[in-house]
Structure 1
């Protein structure tokens, strides 16, 4: 069976999620648009997971989750502060601005893909006149686009700065599970207890067939969010087929097991690649991604030989992403192929 390292989106559905998808299909007719028993069960399970009474919504993909969540935090004349490599800035085709009717993304730099409290304050205090898009929210990605993970104290510091300036805090958690696995912390401790208002909890990259959960810890911000979901074309009529597979992830902490495995495979790959003289590790390996730089000729050879990975960080820069089903044998095979390509 072919396995690739371009994205954890390449992986299939984990058995536990597939089981509940089939179960939901076998249960007969159910009310539509989220009024079914499966959606209610998963909402309760997510509340139990985070140990708080939060509002939970389901959408088809991460772009919709982030964009609709941010739109609920902002007016058209506002701005959202994020890192310069944030997915909402580089990979969502202007969707956050579109769904918010024009709220501007204000980007800042930061080491290892992380936003800092100082960068937030610099943007907020740069200007206060009526001609400047008024900052209203902060968005951080956990784990980040370069595979690093915000520590609890870092999130708390960002939250404190956001509160100081009256800003809401959004967390893009497409790979939230991988961050939790790395930190070994309770999910509540790196979200609402640390000051996060809304989390886009990623399921697709963790073994679901489709679907992300938008979790509002600050429930006041969820007012009319259901209407945003509908208007945005994200309200599934047969919602149970998006929500039910979540039971497979949440039961027995399969979501965490999947993330731990993906992280472990990335560590295995990291440990093999770091021994190759021509390979340079670009960012710390803290989740399920390994970022390296190698001779471009070596990267070209790997691509020609059928390996799949992303190159979007300059010449010779490569990202290898591991998933819930990545096999040790494939990791070792890839490492050997990189060594051969570099030596060749």
Structure 2
């Protein structure tokens, strides 16, 4: 009953097998290998246009390098106040961006609304040299830190506002697969066709050992990124092992099958909680479930072997817990957890 994070899961067998195959023989380093060329082609096919792809080993690296690339040191990145880049990346975007400023915005259900973004950007008195930073990027998390997703129309609205103010739209897609399988949209429709300029495409949470990528939908915008990645310590010498993971992840839509399973387990978990009287705090739209439980119940669940994070207090004497499912989560685990809640 491990619901701490999809990071706690292992590696999908198909990806582990691809790593074993990539371990045979020799290959040139630093991305000069056949695996990388094939992955670059796969991404262009997936998004239905030529894209510039930069594989990196971590999601924090992907976000930080992407934002640093589209934001000058005197620029600002607007994001939700609970965004991973603002809360959980130890100042990496600011560091790699040479001092860029993150401007945090409030928003229900973990998302920024178009009205909130427009109001902030329209406040011209707070932007621009010589005394103020310049808005250069808007970053949204898909799925959000609350486990919710942006619909295509919401992405388009935010992109239009960002572009009107000269800012790029970045999408933190650490759980992009989990979000996409909920949307009635293609990868292209959910990204560049909706106005996304740069995407951090995650595979690690979805079943890889450690594989992420930065995707620029306008290759011209990626000029200099290869040097930025190297300078940032994110270019692996044995690059083929990242590329082999990503190739297997994308092959035959494995990434979407794994995401559907994780989401299905989250739905099942949500249903069990609701039936026990603990309906989730936010809509369950990806593979994260947040619920307010009595502290004593949390103690009993964890004593019985359930693993999860106590996220916050709800102000009514309960603890908001985060429960995350993965491609490895089984229906038996979910049912056992639900049974414990019902009988505790």
TM-score range (shorter-chain normalised) is: over 0.9
1:290 partner SS: strand
Q: Which of the residues 55, 65, 68 maps onto 1:68?
A: 65
CA RMSD, aligned part only? 1.1
Contact 1:65 1:212 in 2 (8 A): yes
Alpha-carbon distance, 1:40 to partner: 0.8
Q: Any idea what the Cα deviations from partners look like across 1:13-49, whole Å, max 9, x if unmatched? A: 11111121111112x1111000000111111111111
- Superposition map of 1:93-242 within 5 A: 93-126=90-123, 127-130=126-129, 131-242=131-242
Take 1:265 and 1:338, find their aligned partners in 2: how far apart are those partners?
Answer: 16
> Do 1:137 and 1:170's aligned partners in 2 also have CA atoms closer than 8 Å?
yes
Instruction: Using the TM superposition, give the Cα deviation of residue 156 of structure 1 relative to its aligned residue in structure 2, in angstroms.
Output: 0.5
CA distance in 2, matches of 1:91, 1:339: 33
Q: 2:320 aligns with which of 317, 321, 325?
A: 317
Secondary structure at the residue paired with 1:291?
strand
Deviating runs (4+, > 3 A) in structure 1? none
Please say if 1:335 is aligned against 2:338: yes
Structure 1 residue runs without a partner (length 5+): none
Matched residues in 2 for 1:246 and 1:128: separation?
A: 40
Unaligned regions of 5+ residues in structure 2, if any? Answer: none
Assess if the C-alpha contact under 8 Å between 1:106 and 1:123 holds in 2: no
CA contact (8 A) 1:176 1:201 kept: yes
The 2-side partners of 1:102 and 1:339 are apart by 50
Q: Deviations over 1:213-233 (max 9, x none)?
A: 111102232111111111111
Structure 1 CA distance for aligned equivalents of residues 18 and 86 of structure 2: 35
- The number of equivalent residue pairs is 337
Q: What TM-score do you get using the length of structure 2 for normalisation?
A: 0.96
**Which of the numbers 11, 28, 33 marks the counterpart of 1:13?**
11
Q: Is the 8 A contact 1:265 1:322 kept in 2?
A: yes
1:266 maps to which residue? 266
Give the deviation of 1:129 after TM superposition: 4.8
